[in-house]
Amino acid sequence: MKNILIFGAGRSSNTLIRYLADNANEFNWKIIVVDIQINGNENSQRISYSVLNVKDEFERDSEVKNADLVISMLPARFHKFVARSCVKFSKNLLTASYETADLKAFETEVNKKGLFFLNECGLDPGLDHMSAMKIIDAIKNAGHKLQCFESFTGGLVAPDYDNNPWNYKFTWNPRNVVLAGQDGPAKFIQNGKYKYIPYNRLFRRTEMIEIENYGLFEGYANRDSLNYIEKYNLQGIPTIYRGTLRRPGFCRAWNVFVQLGATDDSYYLEDIENMTYREFINSFLYFHPTDSVDLKLYRAMHIDQDSDIIYKLNWLGIFDDTKIGLKRATPAQVLEHILKQKWQLQPDDKDMIVMWHKFIYLDTSLNRKVKLTSSLAVIGENSQHTAMSKTVGLPLAIAAKLVLNGNINLKGMYIPTHKNIYEPVLNELKQNGIVFSEKVEDNSSEYC
Amino acid sequence: MKNILIFGAGRSSNTLIRYLADNANEFNWKIIVVDIQINGNENSQRISYSVLNVKDEFERDSEVKNADLVISMLPARFHKFVARSCVKFSKNLLTASYETADLKAFETEVNKKGLFFLNECGLDPGLDHMSAMKIIDAIKNAGHKLQCFESFTGGLVAPDYDNNPWNYKFTWNPRNVVLAGQDGPAKFIQNGKYKYIPYNRLFRRTEMIEIENYGLFEGYANRDSLNYIEKYNLQGIPTIYRGTLRRPGFCRAWNVFVQLGATDDSYYLEDIENMTYREFINSFLYFHPTDSVDLKLYRAMHIDQDSDIIYKLNWLGIFDDTKIGLKRATPAQVLEHILKQKWQLQPDDKDMIVMWHKFIYLDTSLNRKVKLTSSLAVIGENSQHTAMSKTVGLPLAIAAKLVLNGNINLKGMYIPTHKNIYEPVLNELKQNGIVFSEKVEDNSSEYC
Beta carbons of A205 and B286 less than 8 Å apart: yes
pLDDT of residue A448: 64
* % of chain A exceeding 90 in pLDDT: 92
Q: Supply the DSSP symbol for A13.
A: G
pLDDT of residue A89: 98
Q: Supply the DSSP symbol for B13.
A: G
Beta carbons of A287 and B193 less than 8 Å apart: yes
Beta carbons of A195 and B271 less than 8 Å apart: no
Beta carbons of B193 and A266 less than 8 Å apart: no
CB proximity A224 to B under 8 Å: no
* % of chain B exceeding 90 in pLDDT: 92
Q: Is the pLDDT of residue B221 over 90?
A: yes
pLDDT digits (tens, 9 = 90+) for A14-46: 999 999 999 999 999 999 999 999 876 678 889
CA torsion through residues A16, A22, A27, A30, sign: positive
pLDDT of residue B40: 67
CB proximity B266 to A under 8 Å: yes
User: What distance in Å separates the CA atoms of residue B430 and residue B219, rounded to the nearest whole number?
Assistant: 26
pLDDT digits (tens, 9 = 90+) for A227-258: 999 999 999 999 999 999 999 999 999 999 99
pLDDT of residue A342: 97
User: What distance in Å separates the CA atoms of residue A262 and residue B6, rounded to the nearest whole number?
Assistant: 45
pLDDT of residue A376: 97
pLDDT of residue B444: 77
pLDDT digits (tens, 9 = 90+) for B22-71: 999 999 999 999 999 987 667 888 999 999 999 999 999 999 999 999 99
User: What distance in Å separates the CA atoms of residue A283 and residue B320, rounded to the nearest whole number?
Assistant: 41
pLDDT of residue A40: 67
CA nearest to A324, candidates A311, A333, A312: A333
| CB < 8 Å to B280, chain A | none
Beta carbons of A283 and B331 less than 8 Å apart: no
Q: Evaluate whether B4 touches B32 at the Cβ level (below 8 Å).
A: yes
3-state DSSP call for residue A63?
helix
In DSSP notation, A142-166 reads TT-EEEEEEEEEEEEE-GGG--STT
- Single-letter amino acid code for the residue at A56: D
A233: left (phi over 0), alpha (psi -120 to 50) or beta: left
Beta carbons of B266 and A184 less than 8 Å apart: yes
For residues B182-187, average pLDDT:
96
Q: Is the pLDDT of residue A63 over 80?
A: yes
pLDDT of residue A260: 98
For residue A125, is the peptide bond before it cis, meaning its omega torsion is within 30 degrees of 0?
Answer: yes
Nearest chain B alpha carbon to A270: B194
pLDDT digits (tens, 9 = 90+) for B83-102: 999 999 999 999 999 999 99
| Residue A134 CB contacts under 8 Å (≥ 6 apart), including other chains | A422, A423, A426
pLDDT band for position B160 (50/70/90)? very high
The bridge status of strand A412-414 relative to strand A116-118 is parallel
For A74, B369, B380, B408, the CA distances from B423, given in Å and listed in that order, are 61, 27, 24, 11
CB proximity A197 to B under 8 Å: yes
Q: Evaluate whether A282 touches A263 at the Cβ level (below 8 Å).
A: no
Q: For chain B, give the number of residues.
A: 448
CB proximity A235 to B under 8 Å: no
Q: Is the pLDDT of residue B448 over 70?
A: no
Mean pLDDT of chain B: 95
User: What distance in Å separates the CA atoms of residue A171 and residue A155, rounded to the nearest whole number?
Assistant: 6
User: What distance in Å separates the CA atoms of residue A199 and residue A180, rounded to the nearest whole number?
Assistant: 9
3-state DSSP call for residue A76?
helix
Task: Please list the residues that pair with A361 across neighbouring strands.
Answer: A146, A370
Q: Where are the alpha helices (DSSP H) in A28-173?
A: 57-64, 79-88, 101-104, 107-113, 127-141
For A80, A216, A257, A297, the CA distances from A343, given in Å and listed in that order, are 32, 20, 15, 22
pLDDT digits (tens, 9 = 90+) for A195-223: 999 999 999 999 999 999 999 999 999 99
Task: Find the Cα–Cα–Cα–Cα dihedral A38, A40, A46, A51, rounded to 10°.
Answer: 10
pLDDT band for position B445 (50/70/90)? confident
Nearest chain A alpha carbon to B271: A194
Candidate from A10-14, A34-38, A95-99 with smallest mean pLDDT: A10-14
Angle ∠(A236,A239,A244) on CA atoms, nearest 5? 130
The reported pTM is 0.90
Judged on CB neighbours under 10 Å (0-12, 13-18, 19+), A45 is exposed
3-state DSSP call for residue A97?
coil
pLDDT band for position A383 (50/70/90)? confident
In DSSP notation, B326-359 reads -SS--HHHHHHHHHHTTSBPPTT--EEEEEEEEE
Report ipTM (2 d.p.).
Answer: 0.87
pLDDT of residue B109: 97
Hey, of B227, B285, B330, which one would you mutate to test binding to chain A, going by the most A CBs within 10 A of its CB? B285
pLDDT of residue B41: 65
Beta carbons of A266 and B194 less than 8 Å apart: no
pLDDT of residue B155: 96
User: What distance in Å separates the CA atoms of residue B253 and residue B315, rounded to the nearest whole number?
Assistant: 12
pLDDT band for position A367 (50/70/90)? confident
3-state DSSP call for residue A248?
coil
For residues A124-130, average pLDDT:
96
Domains belonging to chain A, first-starting first, are 2-118 (3.40.50.720), 127-252+347-442 (3.30.360.10)
CB proximity B200 to A under 8 Å: yes
In DSSP notation, B59-90 reads HHHHHHTT-SEEEE-S-GGGHHHHHHHHHHTT
Beta carbons of B287 and A193 less than 8 Å apart: yes
User: What distance in Å separates the CA atoms of residue B356 and residue B368, rounded to the nearest whole number?
Assistant: 23
Rg, C-alpha atoms of chain A? 23
| CB < 8 Å to A270, chain B | 187, 194, 226
| CB < 8 Å to A147, chain B | none
pLDDT digits (tens, 9 = 90+) for B322-340: 999 999 999 999 999 999 9
